[in-house]
Structure 1
Amino acid sequence: MKAWGKILQAICEEAREREIDLYIVEADEKLNFYGNPLKEFCREELFGAEDVKVFKSVKENLSEEMEGRGYVVLISPMNLWADIYEYNKPKFKNPTDPKKPFGVSFDRFRIGFFDEKQKAADFMLKVAKRLRDKFNLHLHVFYT
């Protein structure tokens, strides 16, 4: 399906248009965040690559320790949904990785950090529209 690359492409394009700096992030059990700037993953060869290749490229390159803040978006490229939450109230613990229960997995990754929930929601709704218009993919965005 190559959903990882398509979602990554839509996120990269939207971030570039809005001129905002985002990160792909993960967190350990103590909510210490690690990641790298999104722009490092905004490469043509990843946009059209198989899901496994994109996942591995992302997973292997999240080393920079960073301060969590604001809001994070949890995205499932396999199930086509995104959930917005406060960075210090993480959702969907990964039971297979006790060292990084909020890490990147084949079916989930996180982007951050947004200062306001509404900014995150607006961003993700535009990403969803871009995915629908460009790739006929329907990303469902949740925020409560």
Structure 2
Amino acid sequence: MRFHIAPVELQRIIFYCREQLPHEACGFLMGSEASDKPGQWQVHSFVPAANRSPRPEHHFDMEPRDLIPWLLHTASGGSDQLVGLVHSHPQAPPLPSSEDLRTPWYQVPSHWIVSFTDPRQPQVMAYSYQKDKDGQIRYHSLLVQH
């Protein structure tokens, strides 16, 4: 899979995640799959969501009220659909944690992690999650172009 995102949208993600430090930030990506190129996705917008985790320095839990309008929009056949989940790791590398792999978010086409291990140079990585034949969730790096 390949994801395309405008540099300005990627900067919006990083800016929002930085504003939430020292807490984990979260949100989701709206976009579409190219009808003529399966596996090619276009990210159109980043939608921040409140982190309602009781321990936001180490975990994220999206506020359902922030998600419902966008999920309904996708379900009703809106032009954009939910194509990705974003969250930050304030002090950890941009790799899925064991907790990330236990969430139901593996059903979304992409999972993006913004790491601030070096606050001057945040890293953004994107992954797809897949359940293998043993029921384990595995992740694969995605190619992101901006």
* Same-fold status (TM-score > 0.5): no
TM-score by length of 2: 0.29
More strand by share: 2
- Structure showing greater relative contact order (alpha-carbon pairs closer than 8 Å, 6 or more residues apart): 1
Q: TM-score, normalised by structure 1?
A: 0.30
Select the structure of larger CA radius of gyration: 2
